Chain A
Amino acid sequence: MIPKEKLMEMYEKMVRIRRFEEKAVELFLKGALPGFLHSSIGQEAVSVGACAALREDDYMISTHRGHGDIIAKGARVDLMMAELFAKKTGYCKGKGGSMHIADLDLGILGATGIVGAGLPIINGAALACQLKGTDQVSLCFFGDGASNTGSFHEALNMASIWNLPVIFVCQNNLYAESTPQWVHQKIQDISVRAQGYGIPGVSVDGNNVLTVYRATSEAVERARGKGGPTLIECKTYRWLGHYVGDPGTAYRTKEEVEQWKSRDPVKQYRANLLANGVCEEKDLDAIDRRLEREIEEAVEFARNSPDPDPEDALQDVYIGEYIP
């Protein structure tokens, strides 16, 4: 039985992600944000379900499509938005941008723009916890594309032989950039790759937040109990293109996109909460309105924040006296 408070928190986080991503896309299309942007709209249930199974002192590493994961682990949207705006007040002082947001105090060990690169790193976090004798666990998000990298295989093998407290969460959105899964790998369920490393693997509906939460909780419990790593594949869908500006139509049919949109993870969860009498519509509406304001305030904060000084570019390369 999941406590009501937890159920409501999950709803709130899903809506926070959705509103943040919608706003970021809107701002990007208006030209307000530099660089490029990878939207995670449609994948909220994976981020939130998985992170809801973690404690605040557990660790997480995300990907280039990481806004949702980072919000789910508790990051502040004002600092995130300021980073997207490349402001001095952003999470990374404007040095990382959309793809590299980190909050080490919240256990967010960052996001990497290199597909698959987070998996070897999460092992090190888990190893540090193992060596220190804590019961913290570490979770790594990655996509279906990453499951074909050498890093994926090296990392799963190392995690398994060292029995590391790691949860590998694959956000299988069915496309590695534009390449459909059936073209880039012969298997349908990525979780079967766990067998090759002698660890448990499971494939779940990644659009159902409670399903993801339960699967991750089981894996977290096993990892905390020194039972080693787990591979969880969450089947989900990226509503937009690979990046904002890619309509995503060259390699996906309109019907397919619409079909997945009809399985909107946020709407589904909202309906679930109401159907089970967890809360009333007005409670959810109140959350929606509050988050609408929160995101508007985050944008205000970001807009009103100072730009970094150009010379700030020379700081933070090294720790200590040496400045290159």
Chain B
Amino acid sequence: MREITYREALREGLREEMKRDETVFLLGEDIAEFGGTYKVTQGLLEEFGPARVRNTPISEAAIVGAALGAALLGMRPVAEIMYIDFSTIAIDQIANQIAKVRYMFGGKARASLVIRTQGGAGRSSAAQHAQSLEAWYSHIPGLKVVMPSTPYDVKGLIKSSIRDDNPILFIEHKLLYNEKGPVPEEEYLIPIGKADIKREGKDVTIVATSRMVLRALKAAQALTEDGVEAEVVDPRTLVPLDEETILQSIKKTGRLLIVHEASKRCGFGAEIAALASEKAFYDLDAPIKRVAAANTPVPFAPKMESFVIPDERAIIKGVRELLG
């Protein structure tokens, strides 16, 4: 199978959906001629024109609000928020308006829109360009939260997200755009709410999200030298969460390590840990463990940044502790 980057796979998904459905359009800062800060939308202006690939002012609330208004009239907008850190400017529109219109209006409204954004550390972009805020949005009923880790997943999930009738926060990772992986030429979709077992194993379950999936896979590879076979589960979508796949894996391994890049306190790992203790307590042979970022803002200095963000060694250490 051909290999393309996460960025290319994402762009292909957007292009295919724009060709398929003329109600799909893109709006965001610097997405047209400039192609987006991470060049995801490069070339789409030329292909689809300025009405459907719309540059906006630096006005996150207006961007996301416009997406909602258009969705209410049957469009399927894809709004890009350049950094998830900037979504804070639009959080009223996301949390109070988009997430709630359908419910508040008694099931009459359809907020069929995607907010594409990216988060994560690793580029020394400091505290306001490197956060992992997925837990915030997962906490808001009415939103779906998607967090793909591979080129294959990002393409299949962006297509499903655009077709979904619910509002979706689609969180990419700035250090995944250049990652390559196999992506079929023919069309495919990935259902929202379906986890993926990225690596099978029998000794320990590692549930990891976004870029941490890659690190978990590397750690799992290294652990084979100890004779440890780790199973790596990527939820891919946090809301809805594929509880069954996670619980089945715990049943098999009896041990659970959760890895994410967000700071540990109230991170999404807390939700997975609670799920396991509520529904898989008697399958567990050891206490649940979380490997996550320190409860600090993301620092600028590369050495400090890599200190607070979990790496392979931290994951390996976590697994070894679990296995006693």
Contact = CB atoms under 8 A, between A and B. Distances in A.
Nearest to A97: B104
B61 A120 contact: yes
B109 interface: yes
B67 interface: yes
Interface string A106-125: 00011011100101111111
Contact of A131 (B51, B59, B144, B240): B51
A117 B103 contact: no
A157 B69 contact: no
Contacts of A319: 102, 110, 165-166
A92 B59 contact: no
B41 to A, nearest CB: 18
B73 A129 contact: yes
A91 interface: yes
A324 B56 CA distance: 34
B92 A117 contact: yes
B70 interface: yes
A122 B68 CA distance: 9
Interface string A311-324: 00001111110101
A318 B69 contact: no
A119 B67 CA distance: 12
Interface in A56-108: 59, 90-96, 100, 102-104
A320 B72 CA distance: 17
A301 B208 CA distance: 54
A123 B165 contact: no
Contact of A121 (B69, B144, B164, B166): B69
A109 B69 CA distance: 8
A317 B102 contact: yes
Quick one: which of A96, A113, A131 has the most chain B CB within 10 A? A131
A161 interface: yes
Interface pairs A-B: 4 shortest CB-CB: A124-B69, A120-B65, A92-B106, A316-B107
27 contacts: A92-B108, A95-B107, A96-B105, A100-B105, A102-B104, A102-B108, A104-B72, A104-B105, A109-B72, A110-B101, A117-B92, A117-B96, A117-B97, A120-B93, A122-B69, A127-B70, A151-B92, A154-B62, A158-B66, A161-B57, A316-B102, A316-B103, A317-B141, A317-B142, A318-B142, A319-B165, A322-B166
